[in-house]
Amino acid sequence: MVVASPDPEGSGKVAVKVTLQPVNCPQCSAPMTIAADQGHCRCEHCGSKFVIDWPDPDAPQLTGFESILAMEVDGASFEAAERRLTYLERAIADVEQEVEAKREQLEEAISAHQELKRECQRAISPAQNQTYAGGLLGLVAWLFVFFVLENVEWYVGLVIAIALVFVARSFHRQWMGVKQQAQSELYDSRETVEQAGAGLSEALARQEDHILEQELCLRTVSNYQAAEETSA
């Protein structure tokens, strides 16, 4: 089945490039999700396996393996299944390598994203701390102006309090600038993670599709050979 691309920040955001189609299992009615180009699927609830036909892109038809295997197999179908098995053996080996490569890409993208988050926080922290410190000193200065200082000291305190307000505002603008730049970089990094997750999802869908088709072909060949031995 298709898996969703993970969100490294746990925000729930998911971006999967595969076109998905919701269906219900004909056997147990459990909900399933299949890719638009998928030819075989398995119900995760009851384990039933199906061949998918697409007479209508919005209404896929699922036929159980057992229904197909119950049909009589002729020589042409047997030969076609054997030829298909030769292709599927190579295809499965290729897609297994692709899945491993896509999984490594996803792990690298997530690791890079997490490291970028730490770097962004390190870049933001100084301006953030300076803003808090400037704001706190400004608050203290204003308290002195209103409740403590008198005469000439009051004017000096007022000047200092106003200056601290401007200093805090300057630090805040710097903080917001660094934060905006960090958010832009993190957005690009999340896009990279989501693309890697989508690539892994597509590869896993192809892998399961090939594996299920291989199982169906193997059982078809086995049934034909068993029938031939019985008739002999």
Q: What is the pLDDT of residues 164-200, one digit of tens each?
A: 899 999 999 998 999 999 999 999 999 999 999 999 9
Among 101, 78, 100, 81, CA closest to 89: 81
| For range 88-108, the mean pLDDT | 96
SS3 64: strand
Mean pLDDT of the chain: 88
pLDDT of amino acid 68: 92
Q: How many Cα atoms within 13 Å fall on the side-chain side of residue 112? A: 17
**For residue 232, what pLDDT band results from cuts at 50, 70 and 90?**
low
The residue extents of the domains of the chain are 20-231
For residue 120, what are the CA distances in angstroms to 141, 143, 179, 180?
32, 35, 8, 10
